[in-house]
Each structure stands twice: as structure tokens, then as C-alpha cells.
Amino acid sequence: MLIINYYIILISLCLKYAFGRTILNAVAMTEDGNNQAYTPFIQEFNDYAEKNNLDVTLKLNLLTKENSTGTFNDFGSLVEALLKKKTQKYDLYFYDNMYTHIYGPYLLDVKDLLPDNHVNMYNKKFIGQTCYYNDELVGLPLTLTYSVFYSNKDLLDKYNKTIPKTWDELIETGQYILEREKNENKDLIVYNGLFDSVDTQLGLSTIYEFIYSCRESVDAPFPEMTSETALNALKKMKELKEKIASGIKYSIYIYLNIIIFNIFNSNNNNNNNNNNNNNNNNSNEIFYTGGDYFVSKLFDKNAIFLTYWIFYSNYLEDSVYEMSSLPGLKEGISSSIVAGFNLGIGRNIKKENINGAVEALRYLTSKEGQLKFAEKCQIISGIEEFYDDEEFCKGVDCKLFKSLQPIPRPSSIAKNFQEYSEKYTKNIYDYLFGNEAPEVVLQKVIDLTKIYTVSLSTEDSSAGLVILIVNILLSVLMLLSLFFLFIQKYEPYFKFLTKPFWVSLILGVVIFLNIGTTKIGKVTNFSCHLYPVFLTYGFTLSLIPILYKLIINFHEKN
């Protein structure tokens, strides 16, 4: 009898699972399948659903190097393709928040599906930049990461120095320690700032956060690239590079251009100075090398200062490095690039799956769903209240997180952010590691996204204003010339056409003359339609009188 009861229970559970449960499919990608937070999150939700009798099961489709041949950028394209096809294969998407502007049109707006107090747990400015698309809430942060500053506490304590608060302090402290350590430790470097190669986005992130750290005040927005602030930031960046790299004259960036851009045609001039260049190359690599170099320095301890993504505290328990916010141009002003992964729902999800998907999104981004992982330092949560909780802060460096002044990557500035990132970084590197003027490279960066128009503003050019003034003057003169038609002594000179035809001719020429004014200013639907109207009426009114004269003078017989 007991066996029969067990059998009935088993059959009931199978029937419930088969006919009563909603299966939600989620997709994510990770570089390391053995070290990722998605699987624990999925299991956490399924446990929660089981305990609360929710007929929902979340299934994860995890793409890794082992089961796919694509890169992270390929994954971004794959998700975009799936969303554009309006496929119902996946219900939930774990995606890098830099893709919000791309995926946004194809993700469900959950603003009215989640409680206001749930969304308000997150920093409004941050989610406004990384989770909203055209005023639609298309996702919420699942986990975040920040760029931070690493200081070698052993060396700082040895020379009674403190963690620098400004870039000038970094230069001064770094040079001071290096001068006293150079005989004992020839491998010691002052600073590696994560200025990675142009084909990664680390270089852009580093440049972007450096410029942001040079803003005028804590609450100031990111400086305009045309501003004096941005110019001073670039100059400070180059000063930092030159002073901590012993005044480099030869740039490894030029060498990289040989491989990447093929713009360096001859190496003959370098052959005469190989010995000097080798020393300079090594120094420049210190400033230029990216992530792999950071990891090596983290373990060999041969760096005074480093910049990299945040490491969880348990990885730094035996390390000599202490994390803090980046220095700034002024004390109290800092910056930190914030990245992370959002969780969103496909806009084309089946109607019967919406409630389950919203519940999964709500729970995984709630205090209850995130607390356990955040306490164990498995994720960095975007819920601000956690960092004010004394109990929570016993195991988490809340002081560090509250000191950060984050800014997201400018991924929405261009449709193809990877291409934009490469060109942006290359242009800035042409100044940092080359001989381009800072004003020139900043203008090149502006030109990557700026759409130029012929306008009345003289900020970029006075051409638009000059064209308009000339057109107005000529138009007025031509219209005034019509008065000669009504002066008796000049009538003999206008017998070729009747007065109405002269008026038609002049009006047509004036309209034709002003066709160019429809192109002044921002292109609008009105100006686009006005152009053919001017063209048609101007051409017609100016030619009808001439055609009329030709027709009436045409021979009736040959």
C-alpha cells in the first residue's frame, strides 16, 4: 500500500510539472562556466518558487567557451538577432548593460509591472543611464562591477605615505618611492592605469573615467570634449604617463599601429637607437599594458599603484594592495567606471509566461534575492540600502562602495560601440603616445558622432549666416528691380515680356535662389518637403515666360 501511495504522489508531481508549471528559458554568456553567478541565481529562484508554491521553473541556457565558438561581442550580436527575429525561444535575457540601447526596442517595459518601491531601491541616475530605453524600463541590474584604485600598502607604510587623493599626489608619491626603491627592486613600477590596446574597450573606459575625474565638482556632469576641462584632463594624463615612465620618447603605440593599422611604413630610423628604444619601450609598456599585466603585478607586488576592476575582498586577504576610489584632479573628486549585467524580459514573450517572468525578475533583483550573494561577496549589488546596513557591512567594504563616484560607459553614443571605442581610443592614444596636439585629437573624437549642419550659429562656421545674408540681399535687390517695370521711361526696355511674365520670372529666380536656405539648420520633415516645392515652383515660374515667348514666335509653316 505504501508503494502505491508513493507511486500516486510521483505521478501527481509529474503531471503537475508537465501540465501545471511554467517553464521559463533564460540565456546568458560567460567566459568561465565554472565561475559565474547565473547558475546560483537560477537555483535560488527555483528554490524560492518551490517554497512559495509558484508553478514556475527557470531554466538557464549558458553559453561558454566550451559549448560555443563565439566571443562576447558575438554573443551580443546573437542576442540582438534573436530579439529582432521576435523569437519566443528565450523569455529572460542576462545582458551587459552597455547593450541596453541596442536591445531596448525588443525588451518588455516592466515599469508598470513592478512596484515603485522595488525600482526605487536602485540609484535613479544609474538605472536611468543603463536600464531605460526611451523612458521604458527594460531591465534591472543583477550584478555590478566598478573600476577602483589599488595601492601597495607595504610600500606606502614603509615611507610613511598615504593613498593619494589627487593625480599630482600620485606622481609625487610614486616618484618618491621609486627613487628610493630602484636599487633594491629594478622591476618596481609606479602605476599601471589599464590603458589597454585599441581593440578592447578597457582603453576607452580608462580614458573616460580619467576625464570624468578631472571635472570641476562632484555633481558636475561629464565634461564636454570641447571644454577646457577635457583639454586639461588630457594634458594631466600625458603628464602622468611621462613622469611615471621616465620621459618616454618612443611609443609602443606606434609599434602596435604597424600591426593593427599598417600606417607605419619604415623602421629604418629606429635601427640606430635600438638600445635606448628598448629601455623606453619597457617603460611605456608599463603604462600601456592592460588586464594581464595587472594580474601579474597583483601577485608579484612590484607595482606601487594599479587601476583595475574591483576584486572581491576574499581574493585580497593576503594581498599588500588596498582598494580605494581613484584620485582626481582635485581632492574629493573621483570617478569609477561602472559596468554590469542586467536582467530583462523579451518583448515577444508568450502572454502566459509574462507573470512568471516578471516574478523571476522581481525576486532576482530584490533584497531577498540578492542579499545572500552580496553578503558572500559573490556579486556586487546595485541596491543602495545594503551599504547602510551595519550587519551587512561587517563582511563587505561598504565604505569603499559609498566613496565611489560611478559613471557608466558611453555605450549609447554610437550604434556600433565597438567601432566607436576603437576610434576613440586610437585618437586619444595619438596624443598620449604620439605627437598629435590635444586639441586636434579631441576634435577628432567629437567628429566621430557629431552630425554637422549648415546653421546660423557661428560656433563652428559662419558659412550658414553668410549664405543667408547674401541670399536675402540678392532677393531684396531682385524684387526691388520690379519697380522699373512701372517707371514710364524704362518701359521700352521691357517690351520683350509682359509685366506679369517679368514678375513671374523674377519670383521664380528668387525662389530658385533660396533653395539652399532649406538646408540651413537641422534637417526636418518640413525642410525636406520644402526643398522640392522651391525647386518645382522656382523652375516653373522662371521658365514659363521664356517658353511662352518661344512658342508664340515659332513658325506656323516651315
Residue 74 exposure: Cα atoms within 13 Å on the Cβ side:
9
Indicate whether 259 belongs to any domain. Answer: no
Beta strands at 140-152 and 336-345: parallel, antiparallel or unpaired: antiparallel
Which H or E run includes 22?
A: strand 22-29
Residues 237 and 108 in one domain: no
What is the spatial distance between Cα 534 and Cα 513, in angstroms, rounded to a whole number? 9
User: At CB < 8 A and 24+ separation, what contacts does 536-543 make?
Assistant: 537/508, 537/511, 538/508, 538/509, 538/510, 538/511, 538/512, 538/513, 539/508, 539/512, 540/508, 541/504, 541/505, 541/507, 541/508, 541/511, 542/504, 542/505, 542/508, 542/509, 542/512, 543/508
At 495-508, the pLDDT tens digits run 888 889 999 999 99
Mean pLDDT of the chain: 83
Residues 28 and 110 in one domain: yes
Indicate whether 410 belongs to any domain. Answer: no
pLDDT exceeds 60 at position 364: yes
Q: Count up the domains in the chain and report the number.
A: 3
At 470-479, the pLDDT tens digits run 989 999 999 9
What's the sign of the alpha-carbon dihedral 484, 489, 492, 495?
positive
What is the spatial distance between Cα 77 and Cα 99, in angstroms, rounded to a whole number? 10
At 59-116, the pLDDT tens digits run 999 887 666 655 555 666 777 887 888 888 899 999 999 889 989 999 999 999 999 9
Indicate whether 487 belongs to any domain. Answer: yes
**Residue spans of alpha helices (H) in 2-115:** 2-19, 38-51, 72-84, 100-103
Residues 440 and 295 in one domain: yes
- The residues, any chain, with a CB within 8 Å of residue 235's CB and separated by 6 or more, are 438
What is the spatial distance between Cα 236 and Cα 73, in angstroms, rounded to a whole number? 32
pLDDT for the residue 376? 82
Residues 330 and 347 in one domain: no
Percent of the chain having pLDDT more than 70?
83
Considering the entire predicted model, what is its pTM? Answer: 0.77
Residues 187 and 311 in one domain: yes
Tell me, what CATH number does 317's domain have? 3.40.190.10
| Local structure of residue 21 (DSSP, 8 states) | P
- The parent domain of residue 202 ranges over 146-250+284-338+417-448
Average pLDDT value for residue range 440-459? 87
At 313-341, the pLDDT tens digits run 666 677 899 999 999 999 999 999 999 99
pLDDT exceeds 60 at position 270: no
Indicate whether 456 belongs to any domain. Answer: no
Indicate whether 274 belongs to any domain. Answer: no
Residues 135 and 174 in one domain: no
